[in-house]
């Protein structure tokens, strides 16, 4: 990243802020770091903590990924794009589908076209476990987005490399159950959609480090998936307050009991690295040789392999969850 100009869409979100801090700390010679988002309040609040006066490389750029012309203006002379902007709330997507399509699908295509038009060298797009065999609109839009980014490597006469990072719930993020449980910690109960529910877990730091690694090692067309543990929703409740009763409220519209990040269909082109799985764009020998030559160690997963939060070999213990919870402020 040193000597490069980097743009982060959704730069004021949880990941965007953490990744910005990571880049400023690790890469002292980064040329320019552009925070692109549509929320002026979040930009103002972030700029109070990470000032462009203190960090001369920082630029705050107000804009929406739906707006191609604004996005293209922001990408002028940019080398690397980290695409983290998205609409993410599953229930909201079911009732407002076109808005999610505009941001998550058409916004992704705007990223691709503006990157090509501005000679961007590399694009890393963030995805979600809900993009694997989606049953909700949000997951469907992210699967479509993933397909767009992978296919963008096929444009003739261009040198930009497009890759995707797909991971699960970020521990303690707004999309996880933890903020809700914190609010209800002294209420005597926790609402549980299903006692059987499981989720993949990744910390924000792990997500940031993964994207950084992919930015250095991807060659274009891959979907990277981390090897991470799962947790049981009931274990989260027990770790936060074992005295609270569990109130079963039922599965929400568009919600899965268990998530998966690699489907049986994906397994045909999925290989293992040390810390990650990598889904190749197709199973041709030409593609395999290309990636084998770059990554050196590529181990094919077993036939009909499925990476599911229920059957995952690694699960967080209640004691593990308690340790992770110590990093978050206590409920008032």
Q: Which residue intervals of 50-151 are DSSP H helices?
A: 68-74, 90-95, 97-100, 107-117, 137-151
Whether the Cβ atoms of residue 246 and residue 190 lie closer than 8 Å to each other: yes
Q: Match 């953490």 to its residue by tokens.
A: 18
CA–CA separation, 31 and 226 (whole Å) = 29
Residues forming the active site: 130
**Beta-carbon neighbour count of residue 93 at 10 Å?**
24
Q: Match 């998936």 to its residue by tokens.
A: 225
* Four-point Cα dihedral 254, 88, 308, 244, nearest 10: -80
User: Phi then psi for 125, rounded to 5 degrees?
Assistant: -105, 130
Could you please report the per-residue DSSP string of 195-246? TT-EEEEE-HHHHHHHHHHHHHH--SS-EEEE---EEEHHHHHHHH-TTSEE
CA–CA separation, 331 and 234 (whole Å) = 19
Characterize the bridge pairing of strands 223-226 and 245-248.
Answer: unpaired
CA–CA separation, 125 and 88 (whole Å) = 14
Structure tokens at 139: 């997951």
Using CA atoms, how far residue 66 sits from 4, 38, 105, 189, in Å, is 25, 10, 9, 41
């Amino acid at each position: 990243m040193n000597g490069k100009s980097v743009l982060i869409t959704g730069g004021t979100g949880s990941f965007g802020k953490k990744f910005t801090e990571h880049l400023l700390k690790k890469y002292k010679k980064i040329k320019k770091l552009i925070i692109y988002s549509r929320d002026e309040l979040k930009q103002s609040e972030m700029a109070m903590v990470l000032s462009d006066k203190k960090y001369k490389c920082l630029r705050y750029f107000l804009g929406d990924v739906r707006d191609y012309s604004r996005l293209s203006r922001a990408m002028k002379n940019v080398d690397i794009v980290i695409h983290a902007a998205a609409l993410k709330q599953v229930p909201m997507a079911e009732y407002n589908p076109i808005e999610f399509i505009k941001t998550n699908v058409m916004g992704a295509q705007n990223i691709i076209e503006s990157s090509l038009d501005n000679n961007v060298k590399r694009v890393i797009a963030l995805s979600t476990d809900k993009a694997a065999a989606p049953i909700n609109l949000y997951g469907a839009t992210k699967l479509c987005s993933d397909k767009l980014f992978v296919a963008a490597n096929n444009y003739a006469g261009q040198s930009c490399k497009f890759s995707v990072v797909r991971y699960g719930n970020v521990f303690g993020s707004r999309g996880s159950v933890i903020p809700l449980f914190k609010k209800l910690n002294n209420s005597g109960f926790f609402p549980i959609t299903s006692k059987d529910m499981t989720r993949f877990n990744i910390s924000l730091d792990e997500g940031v480090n993964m994207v950084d690694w992919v930015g250095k090692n991807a060659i274009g067309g891959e979907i990277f998936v981390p090897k991470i543990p799962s947790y049981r929703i009931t274990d989260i409740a027990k770790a936060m307050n074992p005295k609270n009763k569990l109130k079963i409220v039922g599965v929400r519209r568009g919600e899965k009991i268990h998530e998966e990040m690699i489907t049986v269909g994906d397994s045909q082109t999925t290989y293992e690295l040390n810390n990650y799985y990598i889904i190749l764009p197709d199973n041709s020998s030409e593609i395999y040789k290309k990636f084998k030559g770059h990554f050196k160690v590529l181990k094919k997963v077993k036939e009909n392999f499925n990476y599911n939060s229920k059957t995952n070999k690694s699960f967080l213990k209640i004691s593990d969850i308690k340790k992770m919870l110590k990093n978050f402020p206590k409920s008032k």
